[in-house]
A and B are shown apart, each in its own frame.
Chain A
Amino acid sequence: MDTSMTMFADLPLLSLVIWMPVIGGIFVLFSGDQNPSGARKIALVFSILTFVLTIPLWTLFDSSTAAMQFVEKHVWIADFNINYALGVDGISMPLILLTSFTTILVIISAWEVIQYRASQYLAAFLIMEGAMIGSFAAMDSILFYIFFEAMLIPMFLIIGIWGGVNRIYATLKFFLYTFIGSVLMLVALIYMYNKSGSFAIIDLQNMQLSMNEQILIFLAFLGAFAVKVPMWPVHTWLPDAHVEAPTGGSVILAAIMLKIGGYGFLRFSLPITPDASQQLDWLIITMSLTAVVYIGFVALVQQDMKKLIAYSSIAHMGFVTLGFFIVYRIGTESQGAALALEGGMVQMVSHGFISGAMFLSVGVLYDRMHSRQIADYGGVVNTMPVFAAFMVFFAMANAGLPGTSGFVGEFMVILASFKANFWIAFLAATTLILGAAYTLWMVKRVVFGDIANDNVRALKDIGKREFLILALLAIAVLALGLYPDPLVNVMHPTISNLLQHISVSKL
């Protein structure tokens, strides 16, 4: 066991998990549309292979250090000091595993559902997986930027080709938002390169910056990451994108892509511009709490299930940004700060499971009825009892029920934010009521009640494939809810290192 493990450690694991799915994607693409079942099998094999390769990242991970691990470094563009540099720490490693796990589910979920250009659809997801893992693993900011942008292309295609009626509008809106945001980030990176001569993230974190510089750079990053998360008020692309996206697209969008925004705040904003973060934390906190409260109310009145879950995503991601930026008000060196940061991280992982599960559940219904309108449903439990059990379970997780993963992060962030201010905790805690209200009201109208119409009467319960996906997610949601320590444990050194780093002013 030990020797085989060390053998793993010698491999360029991160490169493998980035390029394995990309190569798989190319294979699938070339297998062509004539043989969709072959394409599916290849895609599944590659996604599982990738997941297996990410497991050593966790089992061999050294939880006692904040240093980057599994580091690979090659000169890429020497003239600009750009390196192909990869590595993971306690905040990126869990997100990489989340990505490889979710991709498998998405591949399975597409199995019989996607008939139109199946191979291209699957290829897009595999290539996107590589790009997403790449952006989590990148230690060079340009490499990060490239992966960050590269993952958008498959997503545009997924929505643009396999999407719903208004897919063009949604894609354009998505594009417009993300493009403006990421251009600002690129400008900031180049500015810092000119000053420091390096694109390495660690160098950017350690370079001196004046307050004015920090504020501008902070706002540039905010542009890129706030759109991704998405934070209020730059969130309106998300409901449209979700509504138009096919199920798999929605799952990846919600489970992984949004996380890259949160990850960016931790990797770039806080450590590169700690003083500006402190100066402008009121802005982020306000935006986060608005997401929780305002978006909570908006979610309540949605008629479209996917829109409702999209809005619920925004509200839940509010806890991530709140947890990250409340630390200055708690005091970066006092108890509660690490709780807030780790809470935000746990919320990211948990939201990956739960939002993925919610979108898959809606997908199960949509595949059968071709409607996302709540009003078209009613009494689904009568004809799909097994599915209904899953749906109620995930709904409860979405409402933050203790024992599910949805509780953990919110609990940590609320507890921590009380140390900062009573009213911040108060507003954050309204999610207990709002989250339950919009989720359970939807469940009541869709799942419970007598059979509403003949379409519902004709519904068939989930098959083995669907059962497998939902069961895997249910296990993940329960495991994280009942025993979150293994996840939190890997983050400790990284988080305390980050807190130390941002406690020191750059001025």
Chain B
Amino acid sequence: MEAIYLAIPLASLFGAVVAGLFGKQIGRAGAHWVTSLGVATSFVLSLLVLKDVLDGAPIFNGSVYTWMVSDGILFEVGFLIDSLTALMMTVVTGVSLMVHIYTIGYMKDDPGYQRFFSYISLFTFSMLMLVMSNNFMQLFFGWEAVGLVSYLLIGFWYKKETAIYANMKAFLVNRVGDFGFLLGIAVILAYTGSLDYYEVFSNASNLSSSTIEIFDGHPWDVITVACILLFIGAMGKSAQVPLHVWLPDSMEGPTPISALIHAATMVTAGIFMVSRMSPLFELSDVALSFIMIIGAITAFFMGLIGIVQNDIKRVIAYSTLSQLGYMTVALGASAYSVAIFHLMTHAFFKALLFLAAGAVIIALHHEQDMRKMGGLKKYLPITYWVSLIGSLALIGFPGSSGYFSKDAIIEAVHHSELPGAGFAYVMVLLGVFVTAFYSFRLFFLVFHGEERMDQHTRAHLHEPGAVVWLPLVLLAIPSAIIGWLTVDSLVFGSYFDNILLTLNEHDVVAAIKQSYHGPWQFVLHGFSGPAVYLAAAGVFTAWFIYMKKPSIAEWTRQKFSFVYTLLDQKYYFDRFNEIVFAGGSRLIGSILWRIGDAMLIDGLVVNGSARIVGWFSGAVRGVQSGYLNHYAFAMVAGLILLLGWAILG
């Protein structure tokens, strides 16, 4: 079995290397075959592993090779294969395979075809290494590697100024998160003496029984410090407020990677990481509350921005932010299995929505502005229906995959007794209305109503080819039904037993389980809570405003121009960062350089002493103006002779 574990990431890496280094030799078809087959191999083998896990295979925890031993500390590359890993591997490789196939159609005219395939396969490899890791170092490796590929892919169209700005921004904001993450790893190592997950977990008591004085006179629990630092890493990667600013801009990259990296997989790495570390996070109520509040803010306020966006991809991007917020709230409520459940359903329906948006975009010749769309239902019937499925899943239509996962989150928060749970509950409920509203605003603007595209574009409208619509259909199926099929075992069953740990006093899932009697009952039960009605209200409002009375939208915008501007400016986060952080850094740099280096050190000290030396040496300057190099070589030669004489003599 070990060979299979190793083969899973390597199959993707192989495709990436071949397509990357020999893209010219193997050609376009060669590139998409070698990468798609590589990822397909990874996917099939991941399914095997998943089946094995479902059959009750024991947890595998083994080293691949020892990266380094220093100071008695083992730094290893190795795999931990358990139910969580197997699920993540399957989701990652499955979505990745769909995206590979889709890309064949989407990027068919792009000059960087081979490069693109190489990158997305490299991404799959990195993401697999991340989720399969059995230690913190490799986790950080994968963490940064997916960041690198994300950087390369956002800036894929490197001539676009906005793209190369966005990719740098994404990398740097992620680095802020990684900064915290690395310090978190340092805490772990300092207090447990190991980077191996299991060893760290078994020494978790060292973390919870110690305190650290970061500020003199304020002893803090080490476990809280460690968890919050690690979570800062998750805030970067999973785009939580205030480190969310890179994700909307990442839409500058080609749409397939928006689906794969910036919706389905990479951005969920933070959610995965916290779940993986549940034995640590469980020990800090403060960290959990912090996580829940951050998640709740992200879930509601980022969703709100989605309402005012006109770029189809940006709407979905803000939706992703909001949904990541939901997952984070679930983490904070200690409902790790629910978070992973939503991660999975979201991976399918959000990848579907992005890829469907991509289908719309290419059908309209790279038009992304929804104000120039409308009435596409009759031109793109397949895209229409899969988008409807995706949107219904997103808003939590009863019975769809998103319904189960989102309702479970809401219930979990409802039962949580941690500080901040009340606030989070209100936020996630309001978020349901907002989600339904922006989702169906998009849906109506794109597929219904009057056709606002120009005549030429309309004449060329047609459904894209099979390589594009087939992945859409394949993703639509799980988007619709996977929740129904898996909620039993993933959330209420024993699938994650002993993997995702929850302390008894935090166990909100157990509380929900008391009233759980199978998926059908769960759907019915939903009608006794507010979420379903809020979602319906959201859809109705969107329908009324955008289909019935479009004047309302304009009227609201003028009446509440303050709110509109605030949302349109994305709460001024970008402006603030540009002025304070980017501008501030440049200012500090200039001051230190011009005043510190040039004026004080060079001007005062160095050139000052040089002048004094110059004054002394003025008299003998003539000697130095000859052929300095000859003198110098003579000196070296003399030295050599001297040494030679010493050795021989």
A residues whose Cβ falls under 8 Å from a Cβ of B = 15, 22, 26, 29, 74-77, 84, 120, 127, 146, 150, 153-154, 156-157, 160-161, 172-173, 176-177, 233, 236-237, 294, 297-302, 335-339, 342-343, 379, 381-382, 392, 396, 401-403, 407-408, 411-412, 414-416, 418-419, 422-423, 425-426, 429-430, 432-433, 436-437, 440-441, 444, 447-450, 482-485, 488-489
User: Are A485 and B168 touching (Cβ within 8 A)?
Assistant: no
Contact of A294 among B175, B592, B609 (CB under 8 A): B592
Contact of A440 among B68, B172, B592, B593 (CB under 8 A): B172
User: Are A301 and B70 touching (Cβ within 8 A)?
Assistant: no
The 0/1 profile, CB within 8 Å of A marked 1, for residues 157-185 of chain B is 01101001100100110011011001101
Residue ID in chain B nearest A15 by CB atoms? B647
Chain B residue numbers with a CB within 8 Å of A447 are 158
Task: Give the shortest distance, in Å, between A232 (CB) and chain B (any CB).
Answer: 9
Query: With A29-B633, A172-B610, A335-B73 known to touch, is A437 a contact of B159 (CB < 8 Å)?
Result: no
User: Are B172 and A485 touching (Cβ within 8 A)?
Assistant: no
Given A161-B629, A236-B601, A294-B596, 4 other A-B residues pairs in contact with their CB atoms under 8 A = A120-B629, A297-B589, A335-B193, A430-B179
B590 at interface by CB-CB < 8 Å:
yes
Query: With A150-B636, A402-B141, A402-B145 known to touch, is A297 a contact of B68 (CB < 8 Å)?
Result: no
Q: How far is the CA of A338 from the CA of B190 in the complex (A)?
A: 14
Q: How far is the CA of A430 from the CA of B165 in the complex (A)?
A: 21
Chain A residue numbers with a CB within 8 Å of B601 are 233, 236
B632 at interface by CB-CB < 8 Å:
yes
Query: With A173-B610, A298-B592 known to touch, is A433 a contact of B69 (CB < 8 Å)?
Result: no
User: Are A485 and B67 touching (Cβ within 8 A)?
Assistant: yes
B residues whose Cβ falls under 8 Å from a Cβ of A = 65-73, 137, 140-141, 144-145, 148, 151-152, 155, 158-159, 161, 164-165, 168, 171-172, 175-176, 178-179, 182-183, 185-187, 189-190, 193, 212, 214, 585-586, 588-590, 592-593, 596-597, 601-602, 606, 609-610, 613, 628-629, 632-633, 635-637, 639-640, 643, 646-647
Residue ID in chain A nearest B632 by CB atoms? A153
Contact of B189 among A154, A157, A173, A415 (CB under 8 A): A415
Q: How far is the CA of A429 from the CA of B176 in the complex (A)?
A: 10
Contact of B178 among A15, A172, A432 (CB under 8 A): A432
User: Are B646 and A84 touching (Cβ within 8 A)?
Assistant: yes
Chain A residue numbers with a CB within 8 Å of B186 are 414-415, 418, 425, 429
Residue ID in chain B nearest A443 by CB atoms? B168
Contact of A422 among B214, B597, B646 (CB under 8 A): B214
Query: With A29-B633, A298-B593, A396-B148 known to touch, is A418 a contact of B187 (CB < 8 Å)?
Result: yes
Can you spell out 6 A-B residue pairs with CB atoms less than 8 angstroms apart? A172-B610, A396-B148, A402-B145, A411-B137, A416-B71, A448-B164
Chain B residue numbers with a CB within 8 Å of A75 are 646
Chain A residue numbers with a CB within 8 Å of B161 are 449-450
Task: Give the shortest distance, in Å, between B563 (CB) and chain A (any CB).
Answer: 33
Contact of B183 among A150, A236, A343, A426 (CB under 8 A): A426
Task: Give the shortest distance, in Å, between A13 (CB) and chain B (any CB).
Answer: 15
Task: Give the shortest distance, in Å, between A143 (CB) and chain B (any CB).
Answer: 9
User: Are A429 and B585 touching (Cβ within 8 A)?
Assistant: no
Contact of B71 among A150, A338, A437 (CB under 8 A): A338
Chain A residue numbers with a CB within 8 Å of B597 are 236, 298
Chain A residue numbers with a CB within 8 Å of B588 are 297
Task: Give the shortest distance, in Å, between A258 (CB) and chain B (any CB).
Answer: 18
Q: How far is the CA of A422 from the CA of B159 in the complex (A)?
A: 42
Q: How far is the CA of A430 from the CA of B180 in the complex (A)?
A: 10
Residue ID in chain B nearest A300 by CB atoms? B589
Q: How far is the CA of A237 from the CA of B65 in the complex (A)?
A: 43
Chain B residue numbers with a CB within 8 Å of A150 are 636, 639
User: Are B172 and A153 touching (Cβ within 8 A)?
Assistant: no
Closest 8 CB pairs of A and B: A418-B186, A301-B589, A76-B646, A297-B589, A338-B71, A339-B71, A448-B164, A300-B589
Q: How far is the CA of A447 from the CA of B158 in the complex (A)?
A: 9
Contact of A412 among B70, B602, B628, B633 (CB under 8 A): B70
Chain B residue numbers with a CB within 8 Å of A437 are 172, 175, 585
User: Are B639 and A146 touching (Cβ within 8 A)?
Assistant: yes
Q: How far is the CA of A15 from the CA of B171 in the complex (A)?
A: 48
Task: Give the shortest distance, in Å, between A250 (CB) and chain B (any CB).
Answer: 19
Task: Give the shortest distance, in Å, between B481 (CB) and chain A (any CB).
Answer: 39
Query: With A432-B175, A450-B159 known to touch, is A402 a contact of B71 (CB < 8 Å)?
Result: no
User: Are B640 and A415 touching (Cβ within 8 A)?
Assistant: no
Chain A residue numbers with a CB within 8 Å of B632 are 153-154, 156-157
Residue ID in chain A nearest B182 by CB atoms? A429
Contact of A379 among B140, B159, B176, B609 (CB under 8 A): B159
Q: How far is the CA of A251 from the CA of B131 in the complex (A)?
A: 39
Task: Give the shortest distance, in Å, between A384 (CB) and chain B (any CB).
Answer: 12
Task: Give the shortest distance, in Å, between B610 (CB) and chain A (any CB).
Answer: 6
Residue ID in chain B nearest A296 by CB atoms? B589
